[in-house]
Structure 1
Amino acid sequence: MTKAIRIHAVGGPEVMSYEDVEVGAPGPGQARVRHTAIGVNFIDVYFRTGAYPAPLPFTPGNEGAGVVEAVGEGVSDVAPGDRVAYAAGLGAYAEVRLIDADRLVKIPEGVSDEQAAGMMLKGMTAQYLLRRTYRVKAGDTVLVHAAAGGVGLILVQWAKHLGATVIGTVGSPEKGELARSKGCDHVIEYGKEDFAARVGEITNGAKCQVVYDGVGKATFPGSLDCLAPLGMFASYGSASGKVEAFDIGLLAQKGSLFATRPTLFTYVAKRDDLVATANDLFEVVRSGAVEIPINARAKLADIGDVHRALEGRKTTGVTVLTP
């Protein structure tokens, strides 16, 4: 027997129970991974509350790192003893799990298990946003909402590394200092300022080529007012609630804008894309261009407190669980 967090009914943090579970041998195409570190993401809250439905009961969590214990028939990408990491389907909040082996990537030397567990979902999200959804180049001006959050801090550093001018929104002076320390050129505290008006001032009316928005309802449609003509609105999350339906003609009125609601799992659905995305991320971390700020650590059994902090906007950067 091994331990895992199980959810039998959706709801608040109290619905997560720390239980004994049985993990069998890996089937064809699967690997059994013993976690050394587990990542925490706001998407975990969506699953726990039922905003993203999952068959009950289930083990939450989409991100982790560990060691391969065994592989099933037909597996050639990884082998027992390999250090691996992933951002994949539910089941990460556990000591041991089964997972499709083609979702695993090997962790290179120079990247710790904690870093890998804390950056696979957030870091690969930043990678596709910056390199594929809108390919940031030197001279661009980008707006990053929730710039002190897990994805936000990676976006800020990486965009700066690519030569962009980075504007970030934050919820407090402390978060503003953190974002600024990671390369944010301009910080806007959205509780105190009209962020769209401030972006116009900062850019002398030129505005931004892209807005990366993981906040959702609270920052829409203001995000569109931050874009230059033909700019890209990339809505990759909804921490404040979903963006409500809007007239697509709004995009024409505000400058023939582009809008997309991308997900990581679409961008890395193919094995080759997954490996290329992960390797690009590993490279910028190993080079020191992007740091993975692990600002909180907790035991898996204490996950309820972790979720309360996450929902209370009391976290910054990356939170990592240990089994």
Structure 2
Amino acid sequence: MAEAIRFHETGGPEVLKLETVEVGAPAAGEVRVRHQAVGLNFADTYYRTGLYPVPLPNGMGVEASGVVTAVGDGVDDFVPGDRVTYTYTGSPLGAYSTDFVLPARHLITLPDEISFETAAACTMRGLTASYLMRRIYPYREGDTILLHAAAGGVGLIVAQWAKLLGLTVIGTVSTPEKAAVAKAHGVDHVIYYRSEDTAERVRELTDGRGVPVVLDSIGAATVDASLNSLARRGLLVCFGTSSGPIPPIDPMQLAIKGSLFVTRPGLADYIADPAERAELAAELFGHIAAGRIRIEVNQTYPLADAARAHKELESGTLTGSSILLP
């Protein structure tokens, strides 16, 4: 038997309940993993509220790290005892648990130098940062970027990676405390997006040019400022919607504002190819193992406190990454 967080109806954090569940043997192509740490991601709240519909009742979570305890027929790349981590999008949900059976194709071998806690805190966020830095745009040394939610889990990794590439980072935050965290991880200039005119400050900091790239995980509350911060032929990367879905964008406005580009990438499309996922993960874990990128696990919760973790996550007060400990 195992323990798992499940929900039988959509709603607030209170719908998350700790239950005893039966975890069977893995079928062909599957593995069973004993979790050591579980990732807490804002996207988890979308399943809980019903924004991302799933059959009910259901489990929760799509990211964790641990040890393989059993493998099904046809699984040749992993054996019991292997250290692994994983993240994916969609079904099956269930990472908020002590033990879980899932398709082996989702697993990533975890180097000995990376702790389970670090892996659970950074597999999804780190792979997101990896494609944002390595696949989304041909950055050149000396470029300036605008990074929203600079003190968040993805933001802190992106900021550090950007400095490795020789970029100048303008980061938006909501509080002085978050500003201090962002600056400590490589953000050069801070904008308080709730009280300052973001686009105006970006223009001031770039001698009126704007930035070639905006990385925006906030969505509805920042999209206008993001578009207005771009230089001619600049790229807006909308990779999250923590403040709500982005309203429709009029293509003519993109032309008027400087022949702008907009993309809405999803992690799944950048890790679907096993070879590309392995390449992105290897560079991420290499930077972490060498100390070039620090993963800040600033909040930890017992698995049973998943509801409290969701409540605090949605409050917007957290910094860095958060994990659940089974």
Deviation at residue 107 of structure 1 after TM alignment? 0.7
Q: Any idea what SS the aligned residue of 1:133 has?
A: coil
Q: Distance in 2 between matches of 1:6 and 1:81?
A: 27
Deviations along 1:156-193, one digit per CA (max 9) or x if unpaired, are 11111111000000010100010001110000011220
> In 2, distance between residues paired with 1:134 and 1:8?
41
1:319 aligns with 2:307: no
Q: CA deviation at 1:99?
A: 1.1
- Mapped partners of 1:274, 1:147: distance in 2: 24
The residue type paired with residue 215 of structure 2 is Y
**1:101 match:** 104
What residue number does 1:281 align with?
A: 284
| Alignment partners' CA distance in 2, 1:275 and 1:220 | 32
Aligned to 1:219: 222
Q: Within 5 Å, which residues of 2 pair with 1:266-305?
A: 266-305=269-308
Kindly state the Cα deviation for residue 137 of structure 1 after the two structures are TM-superposed. 2.8
1:78 corresponding residue in structure 2? 78
Kept in 2: contact 1:137–1:164 (CA 8 A): yes
Are the equivalent residues in 1 in contact too, given 2:216–2:223 (CA < 8 A)?
no
Q: Is the 8 A contact 2:84 2:108 kept in 1?
A: yes
Question: Structure 2: where are the runs of 5+ without partners?
Answer: none
**In the alignment, residue 47 of structure 1 is paired with which amino acid?**
Y
Can you list the C-alpha shifts for 1:28-85, whole angstroms capped at 9, x where unaligned? 1111000000010100011100111111111111110000001111111211100000
Distance, in Å, in 2 between the alignment partners of 1:105 and 1:34 is 15
Q: 2:64 is paired with a residue of what secondary structure?
A: strand
Q: CA deviation at 1:8?
A: 0.6
Contact 2:298 2:321 in 1 (8 A): yes
Once residues 117 and 136 of structure 1 are traced to their aligned partners in structure 2, the CA distance between those partners, rounded to angstroms, is 28
Give the structure 1 partner of residue 12 of structure 2. 12
Q: 2:58 is paired with a residue of what secondary structure?
A: coil
Moved over 3 A (4+): none
- Aligned residue in 1 for 2:23: 23
TM-score (normalised: structure 2): 0.97
How far apart are residue 136 of structure 1 and its match? 2.6
Letter in 2 for 1:87: T
Secondary structure (helix, strand or coil) at the match of 1:198 reads: helix
- What secondary structure, in the 3-state scheme, does the structure 2 residue paired with 1:217 have? coil
Q: What displacement does 1:135 show?
A: 3.1
Q: C-alpha distance in 2, partners of 1:283/1:250?
A: 41
Q: How many residues are aligned here? A: 323
Q: Matches of 2:287 and 2:233 in 1, distance apart?
A: 29
Paired letter, 2:56? L
Q: The residue matched to 2:204 in structure 1 has which SS?
A: helix
The answer for the alignment partner of 1:123 in structure 2 is 126
Q: Give the aligned residue type for 1:58.
A: N
CA distance in 1, matches of 2:22, 2:72: 17
Deviation, 1:256, is 1.3
Question: Once structures 1 and 2 are overlaid, which stretch shifts more, 278-287 or 42-51?
Answer: 278-287
TM-score (norm 1): 0.98
Match of 2:117 in 1: 114
3-state SS, counterpart of residue 221 of structure 2 = helix
Q: 2:18 is matched by which residue type in structure 1? A: Y
1:252 matched residue in structure 2: 255
Matches within 5 A, 1:142-291: 142-291=145-294
State the superposition RMSD in angstroms: 0.9
Amino acid at match of 1:256: S
